[in-house]
Amino acid sequence: MHKILIFLATASLLQADWKSDMLKQGTELYETTRNKTVELYKELKPSELSKEESKAEHMNTLWDELLPDLEKGLEYTDKLEKAPDSSWIGSDKKDIQEDLDKVFNKIIDTLIEDDFLSYKKEINSLRQDIAANKNTIAFYREKKISAPLQSKIKTTKSEYAEKIESLQEENKSNELRIGQVKQKLIQQFSDIGVNLTPEQINVLLTRVDGDDIIQMALMMDVLKHITQQIMVLMKENSEDLNYAKKYYGLHLVSLELVVYIQQNYINKVDNLYIPKIDNIMFEAKKMVAETKRLAASEASERRRSIYEKNVQAQELTAHVAELYRQDLITSKVSMINAQKITKKNLQLARNTYKTVVLSADLYELISESQHMFSEVSKIQVPNIVPFENMQIQKKYYELTKLIEKK
């Protein structure tokens, strides 16, 4: 029996050493792979094209992708004008509008896939890496306590310290990269005439409608360049009125697309975001009332003080939820104001498209619409108020996660 106990104890120690060794090998393999990836990334040569040349090349590629869909949209727009309001046989206005909406959604998907969400994906990935590193650091600190000072088979205290330091340095690098991505986003807004501070970008990246606002602003920039391409085609085909009218029709479709995108946002705020934040506010206020009732009936001063702290936390949630709701409403109002301008331009474009006019007049109208895109881009980005403090920012982030879950 004594021999069996010795054998089991020895086996247990060997298993522990084996696990520790496997962890050590796995960690070293991960770090080696990561270092090779970093070195490979450093070896990549930057683009030789200038910023303007790169953007122009990119817009030309997008134009090739979007042109068939814009032409399909124009086809449905023409059909929509002639279709009956309702029909038992054949397509009516509702059917054709659904087909047109599908084309719009396809264009939006193309634009969104056009790196519009790359900033968010990269920031989320970096934040996940930071969180994972922090967990690993906590694990290493626990292992470091019982680690030997010297060993050939086990990870020593100094080795754990080196691993911790390495992960801390990696997190600093990740935080720096997040700052660079945010700065790139600031520059993209600046390019379309919208000046935002790093604090305002933090608000956008925290709010549930932040992606919507960013995507719309950047899509407007692309549509502005698409309109520029249409102007070039009109100029090159100025002697052919049929082609001129066709290209003006593509411009008409782009305006209809903007109204569609703006309405989608307004509907989202009204039918998705506001109801969810209202529910959170209701639950938070109900919790405050319940906690106050429990505190009032509690004889123990110690337990009552804990209830009171809970009330403070719950009231903060209710307060921030109200701020959040007001911010969403303010954003919706900004979008409605921007949409009014777009609709006026769309009304004029529809009337002009139906009218046979000189191509020079059409060209001039499209040229003027370039200013409309810039104006609308500025209006539909709301006045973003930076967070008062980190506590409010953290609570906004928590509420955003709740809205996305519900």
Q: Per residue in 353-366, pLDDT tens?
A: 887 655 556 667 77
Query: Exposed (0-12), middle (13-18) or buried (19+): which is 82, by Cβ within 10 Å?
Result: exposed
Q: To the nearest 10°, the Cα dihedral for 281, 284, 290, 291?
A: -150
Q: To the nearest 10°, the Cα dihedral for 349, 354, 359, 362?
A: -10
Which of 24-33, 102-111, 225-234, 362-371 shows the lowest per-residue confidence on average (mean pLDDT)?
Answer: 24-33
C-alpha span between 262 and 14 (Å, rounded): 65
Of 406, 384, 374, 397, nearest to 328 (Cα)?
384
Question: How confident is the model at residue 275, as a pLDDT?
Answer: 94
Which of 125-134, 196-205, 307-316 shows the lowest per-residue confidence on average (mean pLDDT)?
Answer: 196-205
Instruction: Give 314's pLDDT tier (boundaries 50, 70, 90).
Output: very high
Query: Helices 359-380 and 241-268: crossing angle, nearest 10°?
Result: 20
Question: How confident is the model at residue 134, as a pLDDT?
Answer: 95
Residue 114 has pLDDT above 60, yes or no: no
C-alpha span between 393 and 169 (Å, rounded): 25
Cα radius of gyration (the chain): 30
Question: How confident is the model at residue 151, as a pLDDT?
Answer: 86
Residue 241 has pLDDT above 50, yes or no: yes
With contact defined as beta carbons under 8 Å apart, do 84 and 77 qualify?
A: no
Q: Which residue has the higher pLDDT, 238 or 229?
A: 229
Contacts of residue 161, defined as CB under 8 A and 6 or more positions apart, other chains included, come to 144
Residue 344 has pLDDT above 60, yes or no: yes
pLDDT tens track for 55-110 = 777 777 888 888 899 999 999 998 888 888 877 766 788 889 999 999 999 988 88
Residue 340 has pLDDT above 80, yes or no: yes
Question: How confident is the model at residue 18, as a pLDDT?
Answer: 39
Please report where in the chains the tokens 């002639």 appear, as a residue: 82
* Alpha-helix residue ranges (DSSP H) falling in 147-208: 157-191, 198-206
pLDDT tens track for 12-26 = 444 444 344 444 444
Question: How confident is the model at residue 72, as a pLDDT?
Answer: 94
Which of 34-43, 152-161, 381-390 shows the lowest per-residue confidence on average (mean pLDDT)?
Answer: 34-43
* Alpha-helix residue ranges (DSSP H) falling in 269-358: 274-296, 301-354
**Which stretch of DSSP H or E encloses residue 402?**
helix 390-405
Question: How confident is the model at residue 406, as a pLDDT?
Answer: 61
Tell me the one-letter amino acid at 160.
Y
Question: How confident is the model at residue 328, as a pLDDT?
Answer: 93
Question: How confident is the model at residue 361, as a pLDDT?
Answer: 65
With contact defined as beta carbons under 8 Å apart, do 175 and 130 qualify?
A: yes
Q: Which residue has the higher pLDDT, 44 or 321?
A: 321
Residue 31 has pLDDT above 80, yes or no: no
Average per-residue pLDDT in the chain?
Answer: 81
With contact defined as beta carbons under 8 Å apart, do 194 and 377 qualify?
A: yes
Instruction: Give 313's pLDDT tier (boundaries 50, 70, 90).
Output: very high
Of 371, 351, 374, 376, nearest to 361 (Cα)?
351
Instruction: Give 269's pLDDT tier (boundaries 50, 70, 90).
Output: very high
Please report where in the chains the tokens 């990870």 appear, as a residue: 155
Tell me the mean pLDDT in the region 40-60. Answer: 59
Please report where in the chains the tokens 């990246």 appear, as a residue: 205
